[in-house]
Amino acid sequence: MAKNLNDKEQKRRNRFSSSIVKRINEKGWTKAELARQAGMGRDSIGAYIRTDSFPAEKHLLKLCKALDCTPDDLCPGSSELLTDMMPEIPLEIKSTSDGRLYFRIAAIADTETVFGITALLEKYHEKEKSKQSKK
């Protein structure tokens, strides 16, 4: 158990740990298998289960993908945490029932930035279309 955490943070880590253990058991996996499926180190998984740490956004999303769930499934309120990571950008993030995230950005940006974001979204949609056509 991590030291010097406030009660709220310790409870959040405890819920997260319990959720991971429950989902690992439901899938019949080991910690090592979850680490492999998520593309993460076994030590990281162990630290989350021991409540020594809480995953960064990138790892939280990898875990969700591997466990076929949403951030809020693993730790209720997680989608708000993602929003809190960038308080200077008006960003709304919500979990969807199919494990993806809905997001809305309300910001003023230069043309280059907007085109960059648009290109990322187009790349994502092409990837999704490709997945759908293979089914």
Decide if 103 contacts 92 (C-beta within 8 A): yes
Whose structure tokens read 């740490």? 53
Q: What does the pLDDT read at residue 3?
A: 55
3-state secondary structure at position 85: coil
pLDDT in tens, 70-110: 887 887 766 555 555 555 667 677 767 766 777 777 777 78
pLDDT in tens, 30-64: 999 999 999 999 999 999 999 998 888 788 888 98
> For residue 98, what are its two tokens?
């199919």
Q: What does the pLDDT read at residue 117?
A: 84
What are the C-alpha distances in Å from 126 to residues 35, 61, 121, 133? Answer: 28, 20, 9, 11
> In this structure, what are the phi and psi dihedrals at residue 103, rounded to the nearest 5 degrees?
-140, 150
Q: Where are the domains of the chain?
A: 7-134
From the candidate CATH numbers 2.60.40.420, 3.30.70.260, 1.10.10.10, 1.10.260.40, the one assigned to the domain spanning 7-134: 1.10.260.40
Average pLDDT (116-120) is 86
